[in-house]
Amino acid sequence: MLAATKAPPKSKEQREKEAIEAAKTPEQKKEEEKEKKAAADKAEAEMSEAQKDEKAEEDRKKKEEKEYQVETDPYKANRSRECLLFRIEGTGGDFTIWGFDYVRHLAGEIIYAYNALTAGLDSDDEMEVEGDDEPKEPEYLPPKETLFSLADAIIKFQLNNNEQIQAIDLMFELERTHDLVALCPADACERISLYLVSMVSYQATVEEKN
């Protein structure tokens, strides 16, 4: 038979604590429980406020990021096409030195202008100007030949500067894919071919076009 295990002796601090607890009246114990609950509720409320502040900060950052994306997205370019106007009516020169973002934005305005021309919109149709509530000036619609000339310069720049995907997208938007063979650089043929193959499933069939 196993001998009974003797419990280790309690420390002086433990004995004093038990004595204090035993001496408390039911009202005192109830009051302590109430204080503990109030402290827990306060901590939870403070944590909720901190979480609210954190969520508000996240929402603010998301809003700023969304606004920045809209501003820099070349396919959501200013409908008044001021960038395109200044490029064509300006002093000329090599515009590609302004950087990739500028070139993409300019390509987006070219697509807007081309779509407006092919849709048969009136060149005097007033469009909204970025930052204004009321339309104040007509949209800028240069001739197609001018658009194509500028687009060719952009396409050549993008094809030779590792932006073949953007160049092909621009050619599709302007219905100029027949020029791809002549413009395609030898070292980018494989990448361009793979991208074209991936786009096949998105092209309209003869029945859909009709």
Tens-digit pLDDT profile for the chain (210 aa)?
444 445 566 676 777 777 777 777 778 878 888 888 888 777 777 766 677 678 778 888 888 777 665 555 544 545 567 788 888 888 778 888 888 888 988 898 898 888 888 876 544 444 444 444 544 445 677 888 999 999 999 999 998 888 888 999 999 888 888 888 888 888 888 888 888 888 877 766 656 555
pLDDT of residue 10: 65
pLDDT of residue 191: 86
pLDDT of residue 130: 46
What is d(CA 26, CA 34) in angstroms, rounded to the nearest whole number? Answer: 12
Q: How much is the CA Rg of the chain, to the nearest whole Å?
A: 35
Q: Phi and psi of 84, rounded to 5°?
A: -65, -40
Q: What global pTM score does this model have?
A: 0.53
Specify the residue for token string 């429980």: 33
pLDDT of residue 154: 92
Residue 25 identity (one-letter amino acid): T
Specify the residue for token string 């607890």: 21
pLDDT of residue 207: 64
